[in-house]
Amino acid sequence: MTVATTLSFVIRSLCQRMVPPAMIYVVSRKTIWRLCFVCMLGSAFGLVSAVLSARSAHAQPEGSFLSRFDNGDPLPDGWQISNFAVRSPGLRTAWTRNAVSSGGLKGMPLELRLYPAPAESDKKFFGGQVQRQRRTHYGHYEVEMTAGRGNGVISSFFTYTGPYFGDPHDEIDFEFLGRDTTKVWVNRFAKGERLPGKWIDLGLDAAAGPNVYAFDWLPDRIIWFVNGREIYRIEAKDRVLPDIPGRIYFDIWTGGRGQTNWAGWADQSTESLAKYYCISYRLPHEQAPSCSDERSSTVQSDE
């Protein structure tokens, strides 16, 4: 039911209840409809105020949370699976619900797959993406995940907002390139400007099993971590930092010719899989559970 339909229904119901039939014999029809008009205005303002208040609350950055994806339950509250395609030749992947699956058993993670799309599709590949429904802002972010392998394959964890949400492009990234999963690409966008990213040696193979990747996003700095070890930082005194609340995303995809030098090229038979066990967000200076506090007991190789 649309807002307009609901409003109309409420107005008619209130008018009918507030003007009983008996009044028709003592009050003119004109007076009755004046009363109804007053009732309609009050109802309309009340309903619009309630709708706007609900939207405003949803737009506000949310508080700390922890979501486990490996406990056998459905997708936790607050997340949604993407089902769309970006109309750009620079992205050869369309997001589809069919590329996101859970084993349904305790200990089995959420799996995002990348695989060839059917011939009738406008895109060459289908991939999985999950996004947070509400925004987050400054704080400590963690993901426990296993990256996908394959030339041209990118699996990621990041915050994002941009023109679709009425904002300049702000973003903070962990991007794992399947052509060499012993490294990670860390990057950020601020006010629509793509700022220099950096290759970081991990000292491990991100595709061999789950690890905890984290970043602190604060007004004066961003710090990236792997299994609690700092690997890179940037500070506001030296570089522009993103400062607009965004949404958390994680996905697997492959790019176009423009990303070949960066990520490599995925041929048409490419398939890959990224696994996600846990994601957490903690407000600055707040004591709240994080993925690293209850690290998955699955530490053996996923190979």
Burial of residue 222 (CB within 10 Å: 0-12, 13-18, 19+) is buried
Amino acid in the structure at residue 2: T
Query: How far apart (Å, rounded) are the C-alpha atoms in residues 58 and 41?
Result: 26
Question: What sign has the CA pseudo-torsion 123, 125, 131, 137?
Answer: negative
Strand partners, 231: none
Known catalytic residues are 175
Q: Per-residue b/e over 152-170, b at no fewer than 16 CB within 10 Å? A: bbbbbbbbbbbeeeebebb
The residue count of the chain comes to 303
Neighbours of 45 (CB within 10 A): 10
Q: Residues 172, 177, 182, 185: what is their CA dihedral angle, to the nearest 10 degrees?
A: -30
Nearest to 42 by CA among 19, 11, 6, 12: 11
